[in-house]
Amino acid sequence: MLSILFKLNKKQTLEEKVLAIHNGDSYLREELIDQYKPFIAKAVSQVCKRYISDQDDEFSIGLIAFNESIEKYSTEKGSSLLSFAELIIKRRVIDFIRKESRQQTVKLDTHLDDEDMVQSKYEVVASVDDYQKQLEQEHRRDEIQHYQTVLKQFDLSFLDLVDNSPKHADARVNAMKVANVVTQNPDFKKNLFEKKRLPIKELEKHVDVSRKTIERNRKYIIAVCIIMASDYVYLKEYVKGVMTS
């Protein structure tokens, strides 16, 4: 009886709440979203560079993105829910701003009657392009910062990756293929993110490289696995570029 009481009074972690939501607790979902509205507003404000209230369209985008992060989150993402949610919120708000900017440019096109308005149109387009480039740079920086946080959980750093990156292009591609095998195998991926190590003995049976090669490139393979298993946009493009080059 005491054990049951203690279990009932045990405070749930965020990740445990997400699991309960995945199992159908819709009330808890609403409660969690309401509880983290200040967090959502702060993340949105950081992108918009101004105070955001619950009356702003951008805030609504943030709410939807937070709910999306609850849907997509799993411990295999290699980060906390809030860290993952912040990444998703900022990405969705940036996408919204881009869309709005393009629509404003189209609206301006419909009112072009003379040379001055044409000049104005080009100035607006240039301004929108500059703003989008700035947003992309900030998004890329956010991804890298988030990635560094996850790397630390595996006792890795960017310096480790520089020191342990395969020297030859073929070796890098092979290491990425090994990482792909890991992330496509649920057992391997679970082992990696829960125990923070590669299941090398089991893995060598599923790849065309030797155990020695896997061990030599272990840190690089883990780093690539983290990218492949996460919702990174720019880092995944880098991996894709290496594998298809």
Hunting for tokens 């005491």 — which residue is that?
2
More confident residue, 101 or 6: 101
Which amino acid does the sequence have at 210? S
For the chain, give every domain's residue range: 10-153, 158-244
Compute the average pLDDT of residues 209-228: 90
Compute the average pLDDT of residues 199-210: 87
Confidence category of residue 179, pLDDT binned at 50, 70, 90: very high
Q: Which of 110, 100, 242 is nearest to 179 (CA)?
A: 242
Task: Quote the mean pLDDT of the chain.
Answer: 78
Asked whether the beta carbons of 77 and 230 are under 8 A apart, the reply is yes
pLDDT at residue 158, as a whole number: 79
Q: CA-CA distance, 56 to 65, in Å (whole number)? A: 15
Q: Tell me the range of 45-54, 138-147, 217-226 where mean pLDDT is highest.
A: 217-226
Asked whether the beta carbons of 191 and 199 are under 8 A apart, the reply is yes
pLDDT at residue 228, as a whole number: 87
Confidence category of residue 243, pLDDT binned at 50, 70, 90: low
Low-confidence winner among 191-195, 213-217, 238-242 (lowest mean pLDDT): 238-242
State pLDDT tens for residues 41-87: 988 988 888 888 888 888 999 999 999 998 888 776 666 788 888 88
Tell me, yes or no, if the pTM score tops 0.75.
no
pLDDT exceeds cutoff 80 at 35: yes
Q: Tell me the range of 15-24, 33-42, 226-235 where mean pLDDT is highest.
A: 33-42
State pLDDT tens for residues 160-174: 777 778 888 888 888
